């Protein structure tokens, strides 16, 4: 394999490989860049630009301008996002959810949160259904711990709540041909039937609000860009079914701690899970991939590269809210004044402080899990 082939970018809902070129994704997927102008428009309602907007974690959208136009005319929207419970939640997962919570607070709007135990079961030969269902409920604790409002948060567990989704999924499925699904998702002859039908299930929450309340309002989906194919096919049929097209705001992938920011489910040391004890967090951060040099002497002389450093990314997206301090850290790193050990120690402290709080809230969430379950 040549280096080029190894680095070839593949981005589908079930596989992300190679170096991700976000500009190219905007072109290939046909989405809109999240321009300064639209960020400012959003910030007006959000009490300033939130860190995740300012640092351009969110970089692309579909119809966010339409959502804001309608909002200004008095038509509200609902939020929709989700999680495939394939394992424990790691810190990277929290970042777009934290932003979703800002949106819920700013617009005082309802959130539908889909827990796709069905999806994770059908796409993986090695996964059994009871475990996947259980993981869904465990992952929900992390969502609740972030402080979403119970009266405005409706978690849908696909297997348990299928009765609420099924009629909508049927309406959707009937209008999408196999040929469209195959070319959108790359299905093969060997793809199982559950997987092939699944996109109709992920489309259903886009439209569920009307069924539950009688109100026909658009939904806005904060999600990583790999989920876009689902919304593409959903947007094509929305109007035929009498709904608004679902709008999106897309985030970048959050880096793991492995080489090149990789995070691998088979290498648990490349991600920090929300339930990790502090000593383990320390070890993981200590082993993380940085932009540092082979020796201290070399690094002091030549400086290091924060662009490729996973530790610097964690500061950027979550753990250094102060722009000035972040840019100072960047400068000192490049100049060889701050060494990787310094950054790792500081990050460990911040992550462990955050996790201690999060873990407390996660425990408390066990008592209120049912309050967040979709209300019928
Ligand atoms: N397919 C997503 C995953 O594997 C889960 C999901 C369902 C989702 N509905 C969503 C993610 C809406 C974002 C927005 O993680």
**pLDDT tens per residue, range 178-206:** 999 999 999 999 999 999 999 999 999 99
Identify the pLDDT of residue 227: 96
Distance CA 84, CA 305 (A): 34
Distance CA 284, CA 279 (A): 9
Distance CA 228, CA 21 (A): 15
Q: How far is the CA of 158 from the centre of ligand 1 (A)?
A: 11
Pocket test for ligand 1, best of 114, 233, 246 (most atoms within 8 A of CB): 114
CA-CA-CA-CA torsion for 62, 40, 37, 21, nearest 10 degrees? -60
CB distance 136 to ligand 1 below 6 Å: no
Nearest 5°: CA angle at 246, between 58 and 132?
Answer: 75
Helix (H, G, I), strand (E, B), or coil: what is residue 140? Answer: helix
Total count of residues recorded for the chain: 376
Which atom of ligand 1 lies nearest, measured to the CA of 14?
4
Q: How far is the CA of 191 from the centre of ligand 1 (A)?
A: 19
CB distance 251 to ligand 1 below 6 Å: no
Contact 25, 225 (CB under 8 A): yes
Identify the pLDDT of residue 371: 97
Q: How far is the CA of 13 from the centre of ligand 1 (A)?
A: 9
Q: How far is the CA of 148 from the centre of ligand 1 (A)?
A: 18
- From the list 221, 219, 220, 224, the residue with the least C-alpha distance to 317 is 224
Identify the pLDDT of residue 164: 98
Helix (H, G, I), strand (E, B), or coil: what is residue 111? Answer: strand
Which residues of the chain are under the pLDDT cut of 50?
1
CB distance 221 to ligand 1 below 6 Å: yes
CB distance 208 to ligand 1 below 6 Å: no
CB distance 116 to ligand 1 below 6 Å: yes
pTM for this model (two decimals): 0.95
Strands (E), 158-244: 219-224
CB distance 143 to ligand 1 below 6 Å: no
CB distance 246 to ligand 1 below 6 Å: no
CB distance 184 to ligand 1 below 6 Å: no
Contact 285, 273 (CB under 8 A): no
CB distance 352 to ligand 1 below 6 Å: no
Q: How far is the CA of 331 from the centre of ligand 1 (A)?
A: 37
CA-nearest residue for atom 7, ligand 1, is: 82
Instruction: List residues bridging with 222 in a β-sheet.
Output: 249
- From the list 258, 305, 304, the residue with the least C-alpha distance to 285 is 258
Identify the pLDDT of residue 120: 97
DSSP letter, residue 133: H
Instruction: Provide the 10 A C-beta neighbour count for residue 193.
Output: 8
Contact 212, 112 (CB under 8 A): no
Identify the pLDDT of residue 1: 47
Q: How far is the CA of 365 from the centre of ligand 1 (A)?
A: 22
CB distance 83 to ligand 1 below 6 Å: yes
Contact 272, 347 (CB under 8 A): no
DSSP, residue by residue, 350-373: HHHHHHHHHHHHHHHHTTTGGGGB
CB distance 202 to ligand 1 below 6 Å: yes
Distance CA 148, CA 134 (A): 21
Residue 54: HSE in the Cβ half-sphere, 13 Å Cα cutoff: 17
Strands (E), 197-309: 219-224, 247-251
CA-nearest residue for atom 4, ligand 1, is: 84
Q: Is 227 exposed, middle or buried (0-12, 13-18, 19+ CB in 10 A)?
A: buried
Distances in whole angstroms, Cα of residue 270 to Cα of each of 120, 207, 273, 284: 21, 37, 10, 7
């Amino acid at each position: 394999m040549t280096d080029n082939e190894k680095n070839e970018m593949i981005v589908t809902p079930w596989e992300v490989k190679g170096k991700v070129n976000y500009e190219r994704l905007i072109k290939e997927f046909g989405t809109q860049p999240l321009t300064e102008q639209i960020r400012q428009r959003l910030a007006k309602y959000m009490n300033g630009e939130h860190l995740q907007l300012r640092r351009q974690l969110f970089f692309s959208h579909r119809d966010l301008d339409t959502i804001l136009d309608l909002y200004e005319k008095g038509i509200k929207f609902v939020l929709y996002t989700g999680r495939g419970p394939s394992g424990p939640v790691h810190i990277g997962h929290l970042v777009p959810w934290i932003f979703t919570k800002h949106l819920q607070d700013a617009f005082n709007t309802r959130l539908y949160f889909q827990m796709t135990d069905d999806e994770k079961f059908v796409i993986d030969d090695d996964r059994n259904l009871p475990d996947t269902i259980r993981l869904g409920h465990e992952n929900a604790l992390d969502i609740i711990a972030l402080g979403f409002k119970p009266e405005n948060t409706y978690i849908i567990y696909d297997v348990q709540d299928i009765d609420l989704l099924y009629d909508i999924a049927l309406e959707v499925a009937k209008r999408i041909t196999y040929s469209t699904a195959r070319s959108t998702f790359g299905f093969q002859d060997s793809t199982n039937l559950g997987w092939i039908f699944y996109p109709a299930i992920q489309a259903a929450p886009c439209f569920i609000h009307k069924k539950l309340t009688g109100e026909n309002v658009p939904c806005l989906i904060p999600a990583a860009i790999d989920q876009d194919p689902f919304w593409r096919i959903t947007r094509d049929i929305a109007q035929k079914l009498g709904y608004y097209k679902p709008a999106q705001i897309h985030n970048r992938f959050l880096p793991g701690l492995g080489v090149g920011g990789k995070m691998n489910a088979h290498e648990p040391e490349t991600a920090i899970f929300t339930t990790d004890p502090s000593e383990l967090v320390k070890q993981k951060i200590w082993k993380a991939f940085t932009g540092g040099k082979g020796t201290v002497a070399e690094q002091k002389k030549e400086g290091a590269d924060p662009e490729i450093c996973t530790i610097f990314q964690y500061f950027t997206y979550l753990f250094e809210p102060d722009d000035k301090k972040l840019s100072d850290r960047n400068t000192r790193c490049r100049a060889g004044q701050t060494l990787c050990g310094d950054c790792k120690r500081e990050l460990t402290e911040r992550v462990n402080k955050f996790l201690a709080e999060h873990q407390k809230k996660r425990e408390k969430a066990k008592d209120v899990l049912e309050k967040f379950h979709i209300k019928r």
